[in-house]
């Protein structure tokens, strides 16, 4: 405190006197941010209204929200919400986080507008790989053409708080949602005031105060949530319908690290409402209850057409940029053939070929063929894009109860064209159908994996093993089945985060480590080549047992 001027007076206690002071006071201004904003890698968040490249007519599009959340971001979001009017495109986030208070404001704006949220990246048309949202691709009105991708996309730090505002909140298992402790930054400021006092009869009374200067007084930070910050966080989570258990995940990671919240846990606590399947992309709106099968939306109800219609399933695989790069083979409902390779009066191997989509009728067909075999235990060689999850559960339980081997293989019948490898002309009317089986280019995807893991043993060669992605409503029975088959829910969560980015497949080494399979087919052999015909002569070409790896071998 110092005087700005000196006054001489005779009647100190009887006359009013004005005294002017300059007072310097330190003031702490607190701002909150969720982790590691010391050297942010992303520029401030930018919003772009994007339509899909293949959209020909009226398309809803999505709002691409990528970048760091700053104090200015809510204002930018408000502008684009005003621009879209009554339209309700999903918001697709890819962000390292940033300002917590700004994230709260964004989440409330999103919820009020009734918008959905997703985690994903956006690649605009004709942009280079190192700049997927290049300025050249954005029109003057702020719109663009492009597509979305999940692989490696992330929503970290404060981003999940904004993401929580969505009426529907989704991500795929190849995207990451991560949280950590909230860091409160205290910026010290020394403020100078000019204060005017009035002194009457020896008593001092302030009559005016005017700020005349500010100077930085240093900065400090804390990860300990104060009462005000804690109350604000808990109130926001309750408002968004997210369980307070999210706070435990946040507090378990320091500001310079990230705690990844697995999809199953994110769904349990309400941070996510569903998980995208392999054929769904970020930015798709939630399907209406009466949505047509061909509608471009996520969360389609699983409706199987009648068996006689021979449905076609085509599931596009996404590349790292989110575009459709190749399609899985077209299939029909799964059928079962009793196969042999060679003359079973001399020497042959036998197997059950299970090829096609899994439908509600598939378990009954499998049960019928197992009854016909009686006590004989033939390997089951699978090739399938997947299908009905409950049917896959039933198939797996039948196979486990029968103690059968499972593997993945592509069965080829003689004299059949490539486009129709199971042509009716080559299928025996009764008994065994002769043919060959190959591991190369064979696949077991989606719910087929549930059937594969039921085998005792379960072995593969160089075939593709896909992933199973249940909906939020299927998680409980899904994990119960995993436990029944000896694969834990925790292992499944690990599997979802340890997948190959380009093909969305589990590597064979990963499948061994996770217990999806427990053996490999030796070099030079093919699936189903482990059980000989009843009269077959013994030879090196007809081995009696597959190679099942021990726990120690799998760990190598």
What phi and psi, each to the nearest 5 degrees, are found at residue 20? -110, 130
Angle formed by the axes of helices 73-84 and 100-113, nearest 10°: 10
Q: Quick one: which of 117, 125, 95, 115 has its CA closest to 33?
A: 95
- pLDDT given for residue 535 in this prediction: 46
Q: In what order do the strands lie in the sheet with 547-548?
A: 459-460, 519-520, 547-548
Per-residue pLDDT of the chain (556 residues; tens, 9 = 90+): 333 333 333 333 334 444 444 455 554 444 455 543 443 478 999 999 999 887 655 667 999 999 999 999 999 999 999 999 999 999 999 999 999 999 999 999 999 999 999 999 999 999 998 899 999 999 998 899 999 998 889 999 999 999 999 999 999 878 999 998 876 665 667 778 788 888 878 788 888 888 888 877 666 555 566 788 889 999 999 999 999 999 999 988 887 788 999 887 898 899 999 888 766 889 999 988 887 766 788 876 543 333 333 333 333 333 333 332 233 445 689 999 998 887 665 567 889 999 999 999 999 999 999 999 888 889 999 999 888 889 999 999 999 999 999 999 988 888 888 777 888 888 888 778 888 888 888 899 888 999 999 998 898 888 888 876 666 667 778 888 888 898 766 656 655 544 433 345 677 777 887 788 888 877 667 887 655 444 444 443 444 444 444 443 343 3
Find residue 19's DSSP bridge partners.
197
∠ Cα 194 198 200 (to 5°):
160
Q: What radius of gyration do the chain's Cα atoms show? A: 32
Q: Report helix, strand or coil for 425.
A: helix
Residues of the chain with CATH 3.90.226.10: 46-181+229-276, 335-540
In CATH terms, the superfamily for domain 46-181+229-276 is 2-enoyl-CoA Hydratase; Chain A, domain 1 (3.90.226.10)
CB 68 within 8 A of CB 40: yes
SS3 80: helix
CATH architecture of 335-540: Alpha-Beta Complex (3.90)
Q: SS3 letters for 25-76?
A: EEEEEEEEECCCCCCCCCCECEEEEEEECCCCCCCCCEEEEECEECCCHHHH
CB 104 within 8 Å of CB 232: yes
Of the candidates 521, 527, 519, 508, the residue with the CA atom closest to the CA atom of residue 551: 519
> What's the distance, CA 219 to chain centroid?
38
**Is residue 422 a contact partner of residue 396, using CB atoms and an 8 Å limit?**
no
Predicted model pTM = 0.52
Q: Write out the E strands in 463-539.
A: 464-465, 519-520
Please tell me what DSSP assigns to residue 426.
G
- Relative to beta strand 121-124, strand 91-94 is unpaired
């Amino acid at each position: 405190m110092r005087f700005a001027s000196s006054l001489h007076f005779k009647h100190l206690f009887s006359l009013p006197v004005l005294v002017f002071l300059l007072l310097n006071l330190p003031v702490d201004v607190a701002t909150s941010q969720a982790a590691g904003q010391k050297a942010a890698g992303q520029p401030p968040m930018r919003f772009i209204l994007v339509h899909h490249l293949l959209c020909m007519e009226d398309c809803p599009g999505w709002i691409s929200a990528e970048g760091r959340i700053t104090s200015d971001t809510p204002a930018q979001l408000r502008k684009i919400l005003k621009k879209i009017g009554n339209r309700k495109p999903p918001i697709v986030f890819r962000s390292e986080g940033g300002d917590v208070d700004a994230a709260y404001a964004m989440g409330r704006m999103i919820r009020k507008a009734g918008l959905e949220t997703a985690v994903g990246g956006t690649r605009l048309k004709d942009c280079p790989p190192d700049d997927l949202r290049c300025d050249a691709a954005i029109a003057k009105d702020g719109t663009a053409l492009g597509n979305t991708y999940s692989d490696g996309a992330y929503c970290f730090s404060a981003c999940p708080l904004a993401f929580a505002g969505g009426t529907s909140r989704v991500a795929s298992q190849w995207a990451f949602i991560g949280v950590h402790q909230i860091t409160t930054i205290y910026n010290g400021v020394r403020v100078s005031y000019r204060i005017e006092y009035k002194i009457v009869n020896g008593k001092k009374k302030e009559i005016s105060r005017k700020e005349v200067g500010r100077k930085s007084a240093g900065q400090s930070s804390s990860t300990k949530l104060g009462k005000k910050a804690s109350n604000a966080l808990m109130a926001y989570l309750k408002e968004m319908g997210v369980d307070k258990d999210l706070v435990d995940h946040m507090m378990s990671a320091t500001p310079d690290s990230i705690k990844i919240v697995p999809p199953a846990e994110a769904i349990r606590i309400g941070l996510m409402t569903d998980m995208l399947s392999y054929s769904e992309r970020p930015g798709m709106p939630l399907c209406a209850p009466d949505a047509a099968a061909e509608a471009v939306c996520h969360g389609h109800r699983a409706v199987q057409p009648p068996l006689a219609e021979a449905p076609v399933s085509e599931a596009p695989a996404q590349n790292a940029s989110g575009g459709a790069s190749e399609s899985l083979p077209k299939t029909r409902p799964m059928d079962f053939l009793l196969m042999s390779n060679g003359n079973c009066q001399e020497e042959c191997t036998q197997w059950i070929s299970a090829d096609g989509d899994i439908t509600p009728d598939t378990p009954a067909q499998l049960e019928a063929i197992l009854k016909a075999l009686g006590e004989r235990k033939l390997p089951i060689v699978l090739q399938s894009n997947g299908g009905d999850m409950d049917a896959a559960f039933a198939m797996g339980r039948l196979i486990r109860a029968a103690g059968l081997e499972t593997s993945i293989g592509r069965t080829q019948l003689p004299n059949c064209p490539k486009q129709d490898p199971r042509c009716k002309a080559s299928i025996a009317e009764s008994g065994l159908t002769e043919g060959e089986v190959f591991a190369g280019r064979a696949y077991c995807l989606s719910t087929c994996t549930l059937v594969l893991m039921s085998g005792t043993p379960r072995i593969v060669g160089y075939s593709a093993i896909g992933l199973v992605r249940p909906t939020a409503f299927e998680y409980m029975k899904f994990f119960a089945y995993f436990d029944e088959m000896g694969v834990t829910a925790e292992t499944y969560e690990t599997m979802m985060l340890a997948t190959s980015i380009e093909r969305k497949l589990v590597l064979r080494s990963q499948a061994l480590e996770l217990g999806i399979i427990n053996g490999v087919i030796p070099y030079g052999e093919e699936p189903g080549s482990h059980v000989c015909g009843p009269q077959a002569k013994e030879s090196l070409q007809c081995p009696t047992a597959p190679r099942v790896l021990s726990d120690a071998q799998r760990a190598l």
